[in-house]
Structure formats: structure tokens, C-alpha cells
């Protein structure tokens, strides 16, 4: 949450974070944290340093730009999710019209994330086809572009699918902060009552064009002039990636048919436990990334880089942070850039393509 002063409007805080300020304290789900009297300023606003300390939220100050970022809480569960109750999420569509995920209450909802800098951008037409098949059975699919570059960058990929489902733009990577998404594509299941029944995990609509690439003859590609050695290297790593496309579709269809009786539905405790870890350092990474995003969108890219570099250091396995930042530099995924220490090719080789997407924990 970006602040221009240390006095926070209560309604804005509650809307942005999902915490409710009540007489008994700050509450989210079943958790309530008592708050001291000094939580209120004289004008009724909330005292940011006191609130941050009580909820274990990092409060990062950018003195040069007179900004603060209040990051997500860390002291309740130590995970990205404090509660299995889906947090409030309102994002714009391509035309800038806000869409509230809560408006879908009464339906099963799949939130699935993607980005223009990910090969999963080509999955949009397939998600649109799948939605038309499963929507009559009670499922709504919501695609979310985690793209700081905004609607203009995402537009051609969305329009390629001509979707009738909500197709939203998350320029601030809010889904990452609220749900713990660290890579794309990731899917989140929300039931008819607004409860998360599966936290973020790799998601595919049964197939993906990335897996249909001709990767079997890479050894021969080395001799083709148009394919550089670096192209061959990164494609070898892509070939190692784990794409559990059939399994994910099977799981999704089972949930649509059986609802709460599906073997793939998790309890609230399991949902929280399977969400991403969130230590103070990882929460600070979220705050740093948001500061960078805000500065970049307001024309101060140089200042944004400082915070993005720190976010990468604090959470090196958050690919949404890294790939988003890299996308703004004058370099491809294959080349080093002058701003950041890593790039897609080198970081993927260091990690190993087989580790890029974790195995789905059934």
C-alpha cells in the first residue's frame, strides 16, 4: 500500500489489505490483533508505524520521493495467506472499468494469472474455450494479467481469445501480495462462498502452445543460422520444465463436477499451509516491488530500479518480480542487461528448467 504520509485512511487500509479495524482490534478471518489507543491519530486516521508494528508489516520509506510502502503482514501465519477467506480484489478490465471478484459469489471461480512477458500469454484463447465449456456447469474463469505495462501491452493477447469471461489487468501485482503468486501462470480456486479451496499453483487449460513447440531436434538447431546458441540453450531449459497440463485440467473438471466433495478441495488449514512462505524479508520484497511499480508508472524509472533490485535480492525466486523488471530494459531474455545482475537465460540455467514450475501437490 503506497502512502504519502504516515496517516492512513481507515477505509482505504481495509479495502487494500483485507484487515478490518474493529473495537477488539485489527481482524482478518478468525484472527484479531489487539491495537493500542495510539493507533488513532487526532483526526481519526490510523497511525502507520503503530499499525505496521502490531501487524508485522514492513513500512519502507523512500525519502527522496516522500513515499512509504506498507507491505503485507507476517506475524499471523508466516504464510502469504492469513485466512482461507478470499481477500477483496477489485481490478480494471481492458477499458479501465473496475471489476470486483466478490460479484461472482455463488459461482466457482478460477483466477488464473499470466503476463505479456510469459509464453503463457498464448494460452488466452484456450482459457476462453474452456470457459465456454465449463461455465454452464457453474465455473467462472477470470484471467489476470500481472503486467505493470498495463492494458495496452496485454490487449492483443486478451483480444486474441475474444473472451466472454472477466479479463483483468493487475499493473501493481496485487494478486502477488494478497495471494502469494510468485510465478505465472498460477491458478487460485475460490468456491461459491468466497473461500479459497486451492491456493496459487501452476495452472494450464489442458494444453499450452509452449509444450507444442518442436523441441525434439534441438541438437540440429545449433547448425541453423537463424537460431543462436543462446536460443538453443534457453529452449533446452524450457524442454526440462514441468507442464502438468493434463493433471490440472483433470483436477479442475473434477471440482466443477463434484464441488466440495472433490478430492482436490483443501481444508482452510491446508490452504493456508500450502500458500507461499512470508517472512519479514519476503514482505519487504513486496513493499519494495510496489514502490518500484508506483515510481515507474509515475515517470521515475531510475528510482524504481533501486527498489526492484532490492526486491530481487530479498526474494530471488519470485519470477514475477524479476521478469517484470527485466521486461523494461533494452535487452531480451537471452542477453545480460546493464541494470540487473540476472536475466532469464542465466537465472533459468542456474535454477534448472525442471525446477521452474513446482510439482502440483495433489
Residue range 177-193, pLDDT digits in tens: 999 999 999 999 999 99
Answer with the one of 80, 100, 127 that is the final residue of a domain.
Answer: 80
147-173 confidence digits (pLDDT tens): 999 999 999 999 999 999 999 999 999
Measure the CA angle with vertex 279, ends 276 and 282; round to 5°.
Answer: 75
Cβ pair 19, 26 in contact under 8 A: yes
37-94 confidence digits (pLDDT tens): 999 999 999 999 999 999 999 999 999 999 999 999 998 999 999 999 999 999 999 9
Same domain, 270 and 306: no
E strands in 48-107 = 59-62, 67-70, 90-92, 98-100
Same domain, 137 and 189: yes
Same domain, 188 and 94: yes
Question: pTM for this one?
Answer: 0.95
pLDDT of residue 48: 99
Same domain, 15 and 149: no
Same domain, 69 and 117: no
**Whole-number average pLDDT of the chain:** 94
Cis preceding-peptide flag for 185 (omega within 30 of 0):
yes
- Domain tally, the chain: 3
Whether the pLDDT of residue 331 is over 70: the answer is no
Residue 232 within any structural domain of the chain: no
Residue 279 within any structural domain of the chain: no
pLDDT of residue 211: 77
C-alpha to C-alpha distance for 102 and 64, rounded to whole angstroms: 38
**Exposed, middle or buried: residue 321 (CB in 10 Å: 0-12, 13-18, 19+)?**
buried
Answer with the one of 30, 46, 80 that is the final residue of a domain.
Answer: 80
Count the Cβ atoms, other than its own, within 10 Å of residue 141.
Answer: 24
Residue 225 within any structural domain of the chain: no
% of the chain exceeding 70 in pLDDT: 94
Residue 72 within any structural domain of the chain: yes
Structural domain including 40 reads 2-80
196-233 confidence digits (pLDDT tens): 999 999 999 999 888 776 555 555 555 545 557 777 78
Residue 180 within any structural domain of the chain: yes
Same domain, 156 and 30: no
Residue 333 within any structural domain of the chain: yes
Phi, psi at 310, each rounded to 5°: -70, -40
Cβ pair 342, 322 in contact under 8 A: yes
C-alpha to C-alpha distance for 46 and 61, rounded to whole angstroms: 17
Report the relative pairing of strands 139-145 and 108-114 from DSSP bridges: parallel
Residue partners of 221: CB distance under 8 A and separation at least 6: 227, 231, 232, 235
Interhelix angle 344-351/319-326, rounded to 10 degrees, is 160
302-313 confidence digits (pLDDT tens): 999 999 999 999
C-alpha to C-alpha distance for 323 and 185, rounded to whole angstroms: 13
Amino acid at each position: 500500500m503506497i502512502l504519502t504520509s504516515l496517516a492512513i485512511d481507515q477505509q482505504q487500509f481495509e479495502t487494500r489489505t483485507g484487515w478490518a479495524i474493529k473495537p477488539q482490534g485489527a481482524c482478518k478471518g478468525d484472527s484479531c490483533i489487539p491495537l493500542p489507543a495510539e493507533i488513532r491519530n487526532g483526526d481519526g486516521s490510523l497511525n502507520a508505524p503503530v499499525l505496521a508494528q502490531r501487524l508485522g508489516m514492513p513500512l519502507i520509506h523512500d525519502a527522496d520521493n516522500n513515499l512509504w510502502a506498507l507491505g503485507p503482514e507476517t506475524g499471523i501465519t508466516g504464510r502469504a495467506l492469513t485466512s482461507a477467506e478470499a481477500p477483496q480484489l477489485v481490478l480494471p478490465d481492458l477499458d479501465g472499468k473496475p471489476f470486483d471478484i466478490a460479484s461472482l459469489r455463488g459461482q466457482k471461480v478460477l483466477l488464473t494469472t499470466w503476463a505479456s512477458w510469459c509464453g503463457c500469454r498464448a494460452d488466452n484463447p484456450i482459457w476462453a474455450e474452456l470457459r465456454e465449456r465449463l461455465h454452464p456447469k457453474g465455473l467462472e474463469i477470470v484471467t489476470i494479467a500481472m503486467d505493470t505495462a498495463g492494458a495496452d501491452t496485454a490487449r492483443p493477447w486478451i483480444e486474441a481469445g475474444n473472451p466472454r469471461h472477466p479479463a483483468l489487468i493487475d499493473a501493481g501485482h496485487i494478486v502477488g501480495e494478497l495471494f502469494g503468486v510468485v510465478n505465472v501462470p498460477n491458478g487460485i480456486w475460490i468456491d461459491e462462498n468466497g473461500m479459497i479451496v486451492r491456493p496459487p499453483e501452476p495452472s494450464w487449460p489442458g494444453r499450452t502452445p509452449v509444450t507444442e513447440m518442436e523441441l525434439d531436434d534441438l541438437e540440429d538447431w545449433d547448425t541453423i543460422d537463424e537460431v543462436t546458441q543462446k536460443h538453443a540453450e534457453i529452449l533446452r531449459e524450457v524442454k526440462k520444465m514441468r507442464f502438468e497440463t493434463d493433471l490440472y485440467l483433470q483436477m479442475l473438471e473434477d471440482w466443477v463436477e463434484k464441488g466440495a466433495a472433490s478430492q482436490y478441495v483443501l481444508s482452510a488449514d491446508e490452504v493456508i499451509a500450502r500458500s507461499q512462505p512470508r517472512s519479514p524479508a519476503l514482505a519487504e520484497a513486496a513493499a519494495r516491488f510496489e514502490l518500484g511499480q508506483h515510481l515507474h508508472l509515475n515517470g521515475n524509472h531510475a528510482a524504481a530500479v533501486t527498489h526492484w533490485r532490492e526486491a530481487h535480492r530479498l526474494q530471488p525466486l519470485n519470477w514475477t518480480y524479476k521478469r517484470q523488471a527485466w521486461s523494461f530494459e533494452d535487452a531480451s531474455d537471452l542477453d545480460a542487461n546493464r541494470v540487473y545482475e540476472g536475466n532469464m537465460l542465466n537465472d533459468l540455467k542456474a535454477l534448472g528448467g525442471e525446477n521452474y514450475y513446482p510439482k502440483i501437490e495433489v
